[in-house]
Amino acid sequence: MTGGRAESMRFLHCSDIHITQDYASAPWLKLGWRRWLAMFEHTIGGRGSAYRDAARTLRHIVADVDRHRADHLLITGDLTAYATEAEFSAARQALGAMADDRMRCSLIPGNHDYFTPNAVRSRRFQRYFSHLLVSDMPEYQREDVFPFVHLKGDDAAVIGLSSARVMPMPGLSYGSIGPAQLSGLRELLDDPRMRGRAALVMVHHGPFDSRGRPDSRTHGLADADVLLRMLAGPSFAVLHGHLHDRYHHPASTTRPHVFCAGS
């Protein structure tokens, strides 16, 4: 993908790694009721066994950056299973030196990284990855550090949005970007520094599913239509996760490319 110039860049996109701590030996009193309820999904639902080797998978993905000669790694959320300190620590360790440099790595939180109010209040995601959330155009940040921008050469820009919100209870996993971030994004896209650049916009929740249909109200992106109207045409791409299928919907004159990395 390019902004219409000769130079091109290669991006590696992944999502929903779900690094999971050993909950069998975890102190249950400290986990809280949200994680207690989530243990049905973790055990009976099979999520624990499915993501048992998630840290090793992330290390392989990091190695793929060099193996595929990619310029930049993009991670669209859900690095963790349930946003515990141990899971964030393991994710940071698995990313290794890749996570030291925002010129090589950009990431955003997913709903699992904001699983509990305490994880958000303590800014657990930011404590481990704040150096990757620094923006090249900070004047457009409207909600905490979002939207942030990483300018890549003369031809591309990586834009990070957060759609992750603490849910009232497990089982709900919808997201919203919100008017503040969308306002910042609109102003950012009008900045002369964005002229001629391909814009890769990262958001955790997707605008629609693998069949091109809107996701459900309890799982999808509430303000997807607003986002898509702002990013019309093939110079824009929305990169997301949350839905665990991998797919690409090509751009048209009225909407951007949409890439889901799967899980």
> pLDDT digit string (tens) for 212-229?
999 999 999 999 999 999
Percent of the chain exceeding pLDDT 90 equals: 84
Q: Output the CA angle 122-124-130, nearest 5 degrees.
A: 115
| Banded pLDDT at 3 (limits 50, 70, 90) | very low
Query: 95: pLDDT confidence band, cut at 50, 70 and 90?
Result: very high
For the cut 80, the answer to whether the pLDDT of residue 122 exceeds it is yes
Percentage of the residues of the chain whose pLDDT score is greater than 70: 97
- In this prediction, residue 7 carries a pLDDT of 62
Contact criterion met (CB below 8 Å) for 261 and 241: yes
Residue 58: what pLDDT? Answer: 98
Mean pLDDT value across the chain = 93
Q: How do strand 148-152 and strand 156-160 relate by DSSP bridges?
A: antiparallel
pLDDT-derived band at 6 (thresholds 50, 70, 90) equals very low
Burial class (CB in 10 A: 0-12, 13-18, 19+), 145: middle
Higher pLDDT, residue 29 or 168: 168
Region 30-56 average pLDDT? 87
Residue with tokens 């629609």: 208
Q: Which two tokens stand for residue 144?
A: 């905490």
Q: What is the mean pLDDT of residues 71-87?
A: 97
- pLDDT band at 5; cut points 50, 70, 90: very low
pLDDT at 132 over 50: yes
Residue 4 has pLDDT above 80, yes or no: no
Distance separating alpha carbons of residues 27 and 88, to the nearest angstrom:
17
Q: Check pLDDT > 70 for residue 2.
A: no
- Residue 47: pLDDT band (50, 70, 90) is confident
What is the structure's pLDDT at 13?
Answer: 98
